[in-house]
Amino acid sequence: MADWAGLQTDILGVIVKKLAIPDYLRFRAVCTSWNHICRDVYNCPRTDPWLMLPTDLQAHGGSKFFCVPERKNQTIHLPATFTIFGSTWVPVGSSHGWLIFYSPSLGDMKLLNPISGADFNLPKIGCRAFYKAMLLEMNDTSFTVAVILRDQRGYKVTRKGSKSWSSVESKHDLVEILKHNRKIYTMDIYGTVALWAEPPRSWPDEDALQMYGPNHNLVHYSQHGKLNCLVESPAGDLMRVKRQSNDKFVVRMLNKEKFSWEKVDNIGDFSLFVSYYSSVCYRAGDQFNLKANCIYFIDSYSNLCAFNLENGTKELVNGLEAAEAYAYPEPHAVRHRPEGQKYMWLLPSLR
């Protein structure tokens, strides 16, 4: 019988760092000594970008996630989101390795880590016309969640321990919110990015102004399939990613010295993974089955594709299960979004 506990610690540490999170969880369950090795903060598993697929939580016993580097699905049991008293929990946001769920019938919200199983009940928000939610920050002692509603301009925000939501007003309806360098950035339906600080700043979307004029009221990116989002890179840069057509994206990076957005076609070893609910930046240069300087997105045919920023070409990465095949009917409060926007990116976290 093999003496698994007797393997050298340094070798096991090297192995752990090469494991994807599902394999890491199995690894640390083998024996006590392996579990102890995994507790070392330097022995962290590989974190891969996952795509949450539209899934009927009850019928399939959990949520399906597509791991991009491994090109395979993972099914994770999410007990906190099973139907309770006939309500349906709908995923409405993802950030920092956590998912945000909303129950249109109960008006409740929940924050859930699909890996650790930890969850927090958020203050009741009521049965509202829902848009999206964002976990602005998460640490060992606190977290902050913001939501954007269709029936109210601005956004609502709550923190750990709070029993209510605070409202922040804006001039126009918002489609995006992000916390970067401890400051709040938002984007409205016209593509204008605003910095909520003293003094406040805003940057209009040059493309929208040229194409539609300042008074045009139909530049609603989510409803028209024109994804427009803010993404923070691991290097600390803030990027604005805009889908100009089915097969073309433009990336602009905030120049913090000039306070201007500059178009870029090279983001180095990083790649972007964008969707309506969540967008992330990931160092892909040294990862198997991932290409750097690309934007990974879902096309209108439920295909995972990669757009190469340097040469402006699109390639098919993997065909995904169609959203209609497994997804539950969406409640009216969160309907009216394009097919490719029913998917959600997640960078799994053990904390």
pLDDT score for 240: 95
pLDDT score for 214: 42
Q: Are residues 240 and 198 in the same domain?
A: yes
Q: Are residues 41 and 74 in the same domain?
A: no
Task: Indicate whether 98 belongs to any domain.
Answer: yes
Q: Are residues 149 and 6 in the same domain?
A: no
Q: Are residues 2 and 136 in the same domain?
A: no
pLDDT in tens, the chain (351 residues): 456 666 777 777 777 777 777 777 777 777 777 777 777 756 677 788 999 988 665 555 578 889 898 888 888 877 655 554 455 788 899 999 999 999 888 889 999 998 888 899 999 998 888 889 999 999 889 999 999 998 889 999 999 999 999 999 999 999 999 999 999 999 998 889 999 876 777 788 766 544 444 443 333 334 345 789 999 999 899 999 999 888 899 999 999 888 889 999 999 999 999 998 899 999 987 678 899 999 999 988 889 999 999 999 999 998 886 554 444 445 445 544 444 457 899 998 877
Residue 345 corresponds to which tokens in the numbers above? Answer: 């990116």
Q: Are residues 141 and 204 in the same domain?
A: yes
pLDDT score for 164: 95
pLDDT score for 309: 95
Q: Are residues 228 and 106 in the same domain?
A: yes
Task: Indicate whether 328 belongs to any domain.
Answer: yes
Whether 242 and 261 have beta carbons less than 8 Å apart is answered as no
Q: Are residues 201 and 329 in the same domain?
A: yes
Task: Indicate whether 351 belongs to any domain.
Answer: no
Task: Indicate whether 63 belongs to any domain.
Answer: yes
Q: Are residues 23 and 115 in the same domain?
A: no
Q: Which domain holds residue 33?
A: 1-46
- Which CATH number covers residue 52? 2.120.10
Task: Indicate whether 251 belongs to any domain.
Answer: yes
pLDDT score for 334: 53
Q: What DSSP state is assigned to residue 45?
A: P
Domain count, the chain: 2
Tell which of 29, 46, 63 closes a domain.
46
Q: Are residues 74 and 37 in the same domain?
A: no
Task: Indicate whether 283 belongs to any domain.
Answer: yes
Q: Are residues 28 and 79 in the same domain?
A: no
Angle CA 66–70–73, to nearest 5: 30
Angle CA 131–342–86, to nearest 5: 75
**How many other C-beta atoms can be found within 10 angstroms of the C-beta atom of residue 137?**
14
pLDDT score for 340: 44
Q: Are residues 173 and 32 in the same domain?
A: no
Task: Indicate whether 324 belongs to any domain.
Answer: yes
Q: Are residues 181 and 123 in the same domain?
A: yes
**Residue 115 and residue 347: Cα distance in Å, rounded?**
10
Task: Please give the model's pTM, rounded to 2 decimal places.
Answer: 0.84
Tell which of 11, 29, 46 closes a domain.
46
Q: On the CB side of 56, how many CA atoms lie within 13 Å of its CA?
A: 10
